[in-house]
Amino acid sequence: MRKPNIVLLGCNFAGLTTARYIHAVVKDKANITIIDRKSLLTFVPNIPMQVLANINPAIDLQFKFMSF
Per-position pLDDT tens, the chain of length 68:
899 999 999 888 888 889 999 999 999 999 999 888 887 776 677 777 777 888 776 666 666 666 55
- Per the rule left: phi > 0, alpha: psi between -120 and 50, beta: everything else, 54 is left
Query: What are the counts of helices (DSSP H) followed by strands (DSSP E) for the chain?
Result: 3, 4
Q: Is-above-0.75 flag for pTM?
A: no
